[in-house]
Structure 1
């Protein structure tokens, strides 16, 4: 078995198979929690922790889990890890925990987590599976941070609202002038759909531009057998 390319695993999660921009998985939390930068990044980091740990645990136990009951066992493992994370956030980051609300426990049902456990961790080693979870989670954090930042700045003119729940004593930044009236639709659900659509279009444009700039693949030389056929 070839040695995993960890850089490729991370790049695959962040860009090539980005869960929010390419696979379009987990759209419910992506659209619901990305009203501010802090909320989006916080949920994304929580998801990274769950994906990394669940990938490593499932990969370590994959040879002991009967194939027929693998999905219920995977869900039980994910649920146990999410419960630990949920209790830890409630104890040490209670203000942020209250803001994120039901979306922390709902990581259990996030199709991103279960999809990567089934598609990757169940077939690879613990270290590679942990890196896969980090890469996929990092891709989610990128989408959530961009969406949250764009919507927050356009909607309120500020950035990092709620940062005091994580770092006491800090204050949000006023990006736009104090008399900025705000753009209400940006922080409403339609704004999330519009912003996400723009990010998807931007990524697709970037990929198409890179494909046009790529050097053409040299054609394979024809053989006498192929010419006679």
Structure 2
């Protein structure tokens, strides 16, 4: 365990990051936040924007809740958590409306619905209310980044096969600095409208969950094989 992890609590920060990105990924493992996952991932740009907005809420909400955990009565903790999360979502909503208005119009009501995202309240209850500020902020960043990766991957796959593009209109929705992301992958004649419709979202999610489980199974088998080797063997090193 690193010194930073030892200072911040019983949970190593490296483990917190691994949980957020892979072992307890919000979409591919916990299967939370399915409403925005299905609704906004018709393009990689929308998925990236929604993921970053949610990550910002997770980081700040986790940090604030962790800093107040000793002063919040267990009897009223859930209403207080919801009020705090709603405040963070309001700030994100107003910020997007002011500085990224095009993205704000695309995401619409789903920004406000971050308040009802089980992943945000779940991390507040399961982690931030029990851990110090730094560990909680790292947990929010890891969970949020894992959520962002999942939404961007889903949006990218659906956009490529549904429209033939990748990160289309990124310069309009995310700002001019993201124009380099825009790519044309397939000709229009090769695109399939089905992929950017709701059934395409469920199909894409199913394949990604299956791929993640297949990779995890391979990693588990490799780890088990490594542990079964004699301690002095060359492969064990």
Give the TM-score normalised by structure 2. 0.87
CA distance in 2, matches of 1:27, 1:159: 22
Match for residue 97 of structure 1? 104
Give the TM-score normalised by structure 1. 0.90
Q: Give 2:65's match in structure 1, choosing from 58, 61, 84.
A: 58
* Further displaced range: 6-15 or 146-155: 6-15
| CA deviation after TM superposition for structure 1 residue 181, in Å | 4.4
1:201 to 2:205 alignment: no
* Map 1:34-113 → 2, pairs under 5 A: 34-113=41-120
CA distance in 2, matches of 1:2, 1:164: 43
Structure 1: tracts of 5 or more residues without a match: 219-229
Please list the CA deviations of residues 180-209 of structure 1 after superposition, one character each: whole Å capped at 9, or x if unmatched. 242011000100000000000001111111
1:183 to 2:192 alignment: yes
Match for residue 221 of structure 1? none
Match for residue 168 of structure 2? 161
Pairwise CA RMSD: 1.6
- Return the index of the structure with the highest Cα Rg: 1
Aligned length: 217
Match for residue 135 of structure 1? 142
